[in-house]
Amino acid sequence: MTTFSPILLLWYVFPIIVLFASVFLVSALSLNKKFQLKGPDVAVPFLWFGMHQLSQAAFSLSILPYLIISILFLGILLVVFQAYYYGEITYKRFFKMFWRLTFLFTMLTYGLLIIMDIVLYL
């Protein structure tokens, strides 16, 4: 059982801070024009770090290995989907779709981790 601390509160709002910072960073450095990057593309590694820290603080174990295995499974499913739907696998389309789906999966998992921690705290 975890006890509430200001550090946990920081990890609860961390995704919002990271998203605003990454959108600002992408627009300030013109990464969207040079490399066609968006804010969520830059935010994914920081969210992984936040998930690791939150799971360490809340549950005293890291969820990161399970997240990586899940993301690899997502990549396999995406390859099968693209091969079936498009009839071919284009690397550019695959990596762009994979990275954006990784962001969505990471945000969903981060939100579930926060909800689980709050429920267990109550």
Q: What is the 3-state secondary structure (H, E, C) of the chain?
A: CCCCCHHHHHHHHHHHHHHHHHHHHHHHCCHHHHCCCCHHHHHHHHHHHHHHHHHHHHHCCCCHHHHHHHHHHHHHHHHHHHHHHHCCCCHHHHHHHHHHHHHHHHHHHHHHHHHHHHHHHC
**Per-residue pLDDT for 49 more than 90?**
yes
Provide mean pLDDT across the span 79-108: 93
Provide mean pLDDT across the span 50-73: 91
pLDDT, position 3: 66
pLDDT, position 73: 97
pLDDT, position 7: 79
pLDDT digits (tens, 9 = 90+) for 3-42: 667 778 888 899 999 999 999 999 888 888 888 888 888 9
pLDDT, position 33: 87
Which residue in 1, 119, 122, 115 sits closest to 57, CA to CA? 1
67 residue type, one letter: L
Which residue in 14, 92, 93 sits closest to 53, CA to CA? 14
**Per-residue pLDDT for 81 more than 60?**
yes
**Per-residue pLDDT for 56 more than 70?**
yes
Provide mean pLDDT across the span 44-71: 91
**Per-residue pLDDT for 66 more than 90?**
yes
